[in-house]
Every structure is written in C-alpha cells, then in structure tokens.
Amino acid sequence: MQQKSASPKKPTTRAALARARRPPAAADLPEGELRPLPGLDYGVLDALMGYALRRAQNALYLHFQRAVGMAEVSPQRFAALVLVVRNPGLRQGVLAQAMGLHRSGGLRLVDWLGAQGWVRREDDPLDGRSWTLHATPQGEAALQAITAAVKAHDLALLRALGPEGATLQPLLERLAAVAHLGA
C-alpha cells in the first residue's frame, strides 16, 4: 500500500536547493544510439539474446521519442498514463506494482504525471493512508494525442519487419513469461 508521506523537509544547502528545483530524469532515458562500433570486440555480448534485446529496446525508445515528439514522455510515462486513464481510482501502489516499480519509483512517476496536469491524487475512501489516481481532462486529451503517435510508431516498426513482425510480440510475451518462471 502506498503510504502518504509527511511534508518533505526543505533543502538547506545551495546544492540541495538546485537538486530540489531540477525535474526528475526519466530512469529509462537512453543517451544515444546503442550501435555496434566497428573494430570493438564485443565478445560474448554478440551471442547473448539479452544484449540484442537491450540494443533493440534502446532503438525502440529513441524511435518512440521521435514519434511522440515530446522528449519527456517516455514509454514508461505513457504506460502509466494509459493505466490511470483506463482504471479510474487506481491506487498509487497498485500502479507501481503493475509497472514493476518500487513504491518510490511509482511516487516519482505519479509526481511527474501530476506536474503535467494529467493526473490528480485523491484520498482513498477505503484507506485514508493511501491515494487513488484519476486522470484529468488534460490527461485524457494528452493520452489520446500520444496514443495516436505511439500506434503510428508501432505500425511503422511492424511494417519494417515484414511478415515476421506479427510473430514478434507473442514471442516476446512468451519470453517474459518463461524468464519470470526462472526457466
């Protein structure tokens, strides 16, 4: 359960004030393309499925950023907005759990969505120590616009893969399930 925290302490040093004013960075933000560099020996990495998936994830993220056209909207932030819009009254802790985040990561994610004016917190009527999440009209409009761009991004990538593209998502879902079971 997501506990409400007491009022945060005010920063006292100049460095702490600067950190407090700085917007939180997206944890999954790649700094650049992850392409093989000519002449560099990657050793076992070239044979590992996980490393190939990491390269693909990096490329997909950068393509997502170009398609959406909003540098701060990451795939993670988009997914969180989808879940809040589709599940009014979702508890903040459940959102974090659904996204595989620690409670503190869920808190930062909701803080960012709230700062955009897309999500608001309300007291949980069943547990006064928790919050529920609700999309604002601005959040619903943002989701509609972002979703159109994300669907076009997804379709472009599937088309680029050709006929095999349709098999990729089910294989990735199966891989996630197998890895979760510890096979």
Q: Read off the pLDDT of residues 27-58 as tens digits, 9 standing for 90 and up.
A: 455 667 788 889 999 999 999 999 999 999 99
pLDDT at res. 143: 97
For residue 129, give the H/E element and its range.
Answer: strand 127-135
Report whether pLDDT(133) > 90.
yes
Contact indicator for 68, 153 with CB cutoff of 8 Å = yes
Helix or strand or coil: residue 131?
A: strand
Q: Name the residue with higher pLDDT: 129 or 21.
A: 129
Mean pLDDT of the chain: 85
Contacts of 8 (CB under 8 A, 6+ apart): none
Boundaries of every domain in the chain: 58-181
- CATH number for the segment(s) 58-181: 1.10.10.10
